[in-house]
Amino acid sequence: MNQLEQLKQVTTVVADTGNFRQLAQFAPRDATTNPSLILKAVQSPDYAPLLHDTVAAHKQLALDEIVDHVLVRFGLEILKVVPGRVSTEVDARLSFDAAATQARAHRIIGLYEAAGIQRERVLIKIASTWEGMQAAAALEREGIHCNLTLLFSFSQAVVCGASGIRLISPFVGRIYDWYKKTAGSHWDESASSGANDPGVKSVAQIYRYYKKHGIATEVMGASFRNIGQIQALAGCDLLTISPELLAQLQASEASLPCALDPIAARAADIPAVSFDEAGFRFALNQDAMATEKLAEGIRQFAADSVKLDQMIAS
């Protein structure tokens, strides 16, 4: 078996793309999107007609409603290819407004259900701010499942797990980027790769904590920079991977051993942790990497949402 086939033996493989025409060759179970991926897709000649048709069909609506129709249209096309779930993201500009996040999630789910898609096949992506996590917890109680994204810290993962969130997406590559940039000329790539990669270590810590304490929240490593990071997380619940890295895995026949073991995690001595709002905000504040990358990620997704708005408005 190639490495992609081997990975599928121990981990659910998810495609991280808005380019649904690439999906079939990799046969992922699920797919994830975000504003940046959708923006990239609609700028392609292959997808411009889809954007134009969707906007034309709903031009009487407010701009934010048209945007949701576009996002859901891509999700519907993806669900024709993957047998599992698609993640569709709430506007990052709502990351600090729990009520507005819930309202947008309700609308997105409503559009999917109106198209005949059961809510079990949709994950609402929400930034892992305190407000985002509270909105997601409320949505989960209604049976609307969520994917908490832009997750960089153990404290974010602890709150998500305690809140009954269906799935989290710790960002491996962006954590790696921060530590590499901070280290500058002192960065040692070989010493900080594989299981020693700071992004890999973060996801492995969360995975082991969840398994030790019987937390049902699914861990989906995301934002990979190289296949070494993916190989070091084989055995994680899910991994969402770009088409470029999926192709690299598919092209390799090397052995890919399972790196994460739930049985070993359950036997480990890992104390339980809890955070109230004040405790969470302080813990996040103390983690410079997570604080900076969360803020940066929200800014980037918000900027791409503005660009998508502008394309639709024009």
pLDDT digits (tens, 9 = 90+) for 300-313: 999 999 999 999 99
Between strands 218-221 and 122-127, the pairing is unpaired
The torsion region of residue 14 among left (phi > 0), alpha (psi -120 to 50) and beta comes to: beta
DSSP character at residue 143: T
Phi, psi of 116, deg, nearest 5: 90, 15
Mean pLDDT, to the nearest integer, of 160-177?
A: 98
Beta bridge pairs of residue 43: none
Split into its structural domains, the chain has a count of 1
Question: pTM of the full predicted structure?
Answer: 0.96
| Cα 82 to Cα 15, 165, 247, 252, 260, distances in angstroms | 9, 22, 17, 23, 25
125 assigned to active site: yes
Among the listed residues 49, 43, 93, the one whose alpha carbon sits nearest the alpha carbon of residue 308: 43
pLDDT digits (tens, 9 = 90+) for 58-114: 999 999 999 999 999 999 999 999 999 999 999 999 999 999 999 999 999 999 999
Residue-number span of the structural domain to which 257 is assigned = 3-313
Helix axes 63-79, 48-57, angle to 10 degrees: 130
Q: Which of 40, 125, 211, 212 is catalytic?
A: 125
CA–CA distance, 193 with 85 (Å, rounded to integer): 31
Please answer whether residues 234 and 10 qualify as being in contact, where contact means their C-beta atoms are separated by less than 8 angstroms.
yes
| pLDDT tier at 224, thresholds 50, 70, 90 | very high
Find the CATH number of the domain harbouring 238.
3.20.20.70
